[in-house]
Amino acid sequence: MRARAAAALPAILLLASACASTFHPVTAPDAARALDAWTLAIRDADLGKDANLLYDAVVSQGVASTRGTLAVRLRGERVEASLAGPFGAPLATYADGQLRGEKIASVAIAPRQLRALLAGVWSGEAPEVRGQRSGQALLVWSGSDAARGVLDLAQGRLVRLSVSGPQGEIEARYAGPWTPWPGAVVIDEKRLGSRLKLRLLSREPSA
């Protein structure tokens, strides 16, 4: 019984413990500097703005892998996306919180979470700064929107963001250039072993 209860704990809590052990206690001035950098990152990302994004994308799950161009449409609270092959053949779609494709099992990611994962920021209340290490700060959001992020203080950008999805933990890793959204994103859904590897080609405001 106890073993089953432990296994049922959200994977993000296990990650939290592992991450926290690599960070050192943070002083009040350092925490304030990290929150200032985070406030600027949120402002620059402009999460609520409608936009069209185009990515070079690789979707993989186990040994199956599909490559194409991912077109993402952000409209208010709605997020829709379609993955097309080299000649425009449809390979996968994202709608109503589900990523579906011929070669992969359906992956559940809430629209609000997907928008945040692509933007490299997390909305909601201000995070708590739980630790620091070598120019990075550990940010933690509690409650129903539980998440953890590692903020690069010099760049004022997240290099890693982990959230709890319907099927378990979802983790994103980021690299630049930032415009201000990250130019490279790798999103891993742990339970199914699904990976979405993205390189941003363009981001334009919707008409």
pLDDT digits (tens, 9 = 90+) for 28-73: 999 999 999 999 999 988 888 899 999 999 988 877 788 899 999 9
> 50 is written with which tokens?
């409608």
Q: How confident is the model at residue 106 (pLDDT cuts 50, 70, 90)?
A: confident
pLDDT at 165: 65
Identify the pLDDT of residue 15: 44
pLDDT over 60 (residue 181): yes
pTM, whole model, 2 decimals?
A: 0.82
Mean pLDDT of 86-96: 87
- In the chain, the number of structural domains is 1
Q: Which two tokens stand for residue 23?
A: 């960070």
CATH number at residue 125: 2.50.20.10
Burial class (CB in 10 A: 0-12, 13-18, 19+), 83: buried
CB neighbours (10 Å) of residue 186? 15
> Residue 150 phi/psi, 5° resolution?
-110, 120
Which structural domain, as residue segments, surrounds residue 11? 2-205
pLDDT tens-digit readout, 117-168: 999 999 878 899 999 998 999 999 987 778 999 999 999 999 999 998 666 7
